[in-house]
Chains A and B, each alone.
Chain A
Amino acid sequence: MDILVQTLADGLVIGAFYSLIALGYTMVFGIIKLLNFAHGDLYMLGAFVGYTLLSVLGGDSSGAGLMGILIVLLLTMVIVGVIGMGIERVAYRPLLLAPRLSILITAIGVSLFLENGSMIVWGAQYQVYPLQLSHDGISLLGAKITYVQIGLVVISALLMLSLHLFINHSLYGKAMRAIALDQTACHLMGIHVHKVIGLTFFIGASLAAGAGTMAGAYYGTVNFMMGFIIGLKAFTAAVLGGIGSIPGAMLGGLLLGMMETAGTFIFGGSWKDVVAFSLLILILVLKPTGIMGEKVTERM
């Protein structure tokens, strides 16, 4: 029982990260039908920007208080969000009409650029996060759940909730949903389509960056290659939940996180990626629409 609860709790934290990144995938896919390969690298970038900000602002050890950490988190999200917008402007927008292969390859190019750029800026070795999180926590049915874990899940939940409200209740959210349905019509109706697409990239990138900073603090180390596998898994999460669907991405991330933690427990750590990727292939083959997805695959 305690193992089950522990697995669920650990999986929930990882799942929350996956969900946040998966949201960016799903939003971008929903709106311009592009799989943004560079998305995982924005997560990595978020981890590094957070690392730098904490090093500069928070001193070397646990000097940064809770408020400081939150400010760093928000700052990181804004900075990486703007970078995400810039990527869309430079690399993707000119190719919106080009064959899908071109834009996908561009995304790979951006990903290579970001990874190796980060390697040059921050070095190839693992960097230790300048932040010591406490290991205090509560016991729940024999499992140990730290306050940090609770905090991370709560922050993720808040971010997702605000996104949900934004998409469903704001004018821009309405525009996004409209563009996902029919871009041309939106253009004709006077919606500034490119602006809204840019905003989508901003939100997606900043959510990934938030996840990156939190993951950096949670695991303690960051590396320039950390985005690749995570990006792939977040994509798996998005597909699992049904790509294009926002609640689906949240659900898919949490499910994947828990399945992966369970897989690690059953098969051992070296096989956990195989669990995730096998799952991805199985879903794509058996039910390409995912759990909550609409039937968009026909178009591809």
Chain B
Amino acid sequence: MNPSRKKIAVVLLLAVACVLPFLSNNYWLDVATLALFYVVLAQGLNVVVGFAGLLDLGYAAFFAVGAYTTGILMTVYQWSFWLTLPVAMVFAAIVGVIIGAPTLRLRSDYLAIVTLGFGEIIRILAINLTITGSASGIYGIQRPSIGGYVLGGQIDFYYLILIIAVLAVVAVKRLGTSRIGRAWMYIREDEDAAEAMGINRINMKLMAYSIGAVIGSLAGSVFAVKMSAIAPLSFSFTQSIMILLAVVLGGLGSIPGVVLGAVLVIALPELLRSVEDWRYLIFGAALVAMMLFRPQGLWPARYEMKRGARHGETEEATEGGSGNDVKLDSEKCNA
């Protein structure tokens, strides 16, 4: 797609998103709102997993940090919603650094397990602490207002999260093409080489982790006021997995891909409503099939690479698929 046609497509998509509330019923509007939440969350995780290559299996923890910070500040201390946003973001960034600083020296699998452990710890904390309302969570979170207008209806929240989703997409896109973004991708491709080239990998990873956390917490804050009640159940491991699935399904590091993935992850189960029990089973199978047949996702990221180089890469990947050669390439192990 050439740039001008791409622009037209984006504008069209935005226009459709803007008029959607007037075209659909409440049910599908709710689904669309949820999909937009996932767009934000998936973009946040995209920074962590897609750009920097840090497999985070506890991403829902940051969603929880945002939701609980907003929830507690608004119900206990009667803060305005808008004031809780920056606090939640700062708090999430701090939590990101606290988790990241000691653990980001670890690589791939180990990091995945550690983040998983942290996600579980945050969830168990939420269940057991009094300030988080134990297992029943926090309820009665007030509606936010702008001037005198109270955001109360479904449509209001749809637009609120739409704005945040657009902001998140733009921010992540710009980050991805910035100097920092290129450093992340370098780290993802080859950590040791990146470090040898003068990239401070720990700092860069920490930055990716914290930025991802901030974006996740933003979604969490909005989630808290949208639902007006939050419970630990919303921040489980399954939630983390679904967000990761959105990123992987769409294509790691690919902005439009991740948006598509987020929409699919929400829309497909809704379409599969009639087979409720089978939803996650199908997802599990789809995940395996995706990795086997299309490991780069539905809409893979395109980097400034020559055609030949790309071709070679995919060929290599399929060669691995046939699996006669059992050589474990150390370079690939690091990816």
Contact = CB atoms under 8 A, between A and B. Distances in A.
A187 to B, nearest CB: 5
A91 B284 CA distance: 11
B278 interface: yes
Nearest to A193: B326
B110 A102 contact: no
B302 interface: no
A99 B281 contact: no
B326 A194 contact: yes
Contacts of A94: 292, 320-323
Interface string A18-35: 000000000000001111
B150 to A, nearest CB: 38
A100 B335 contact: yes
Interface in B35-75: 49, 53, 55, 57
Chain A interface extent, by class:
35 or more
Interface string B280-309: 110111111011100100000000000000
In this complex, which of B55, B117, B317, B323 has the most chain A Cβ atoms within 10 angstroms of its Cβ?
B117
Contacts of B198: none
A1 interface: no
Interface SS of chain A: helix, strand, loop or mixed? helix
B121 A105 contact: no
Given A104-B108, A116-B281, A273-B120, A95 B114 contact: no
A98 B288 CA distance: 13
A103 B335 contact: no
Contact of B291 (A105, A119, A273): A105
Contact of B287 (A32, A97, A100, A106): A106
Interface residues of B, number: 60
Interface in A157-197: 183-184, 187, 193-194
Contact of B281 (A105, A120, A194): A120
A266 interface: no
Interface string B110-124: 101110111011001
A184 B330 CA distance: 12
Contacts of B244: 105, 108
A109 B110 contact: no
B291 A113 contact: no
Contacts of B321: 94-95, 98
27 contacts: A33-B333, A91-B292, A93-B323, A94-B320, A95-B292, A98-B291, A100-B335, A104-B108, A105-B291, A106-B292, A108-B57, A110-B284, A110-B288, A114-B284, A120-B281, A183-B328, A184-B326, A194-B326, A236-B117, A239-B113, A270-B127, A274-B125, A277-B118, A277-B120, A281-B102, A281-B103, A288-B110
Interface of B: 49, 53, 55, 57, 102-103, 105-110, 112-114, 116-118, 120-121, 124-125, 127-128, 237, 241, 244, 248, 252, 277-281, 283-288, 290-292, 295, 317, 319-323, 325-330, 332-335
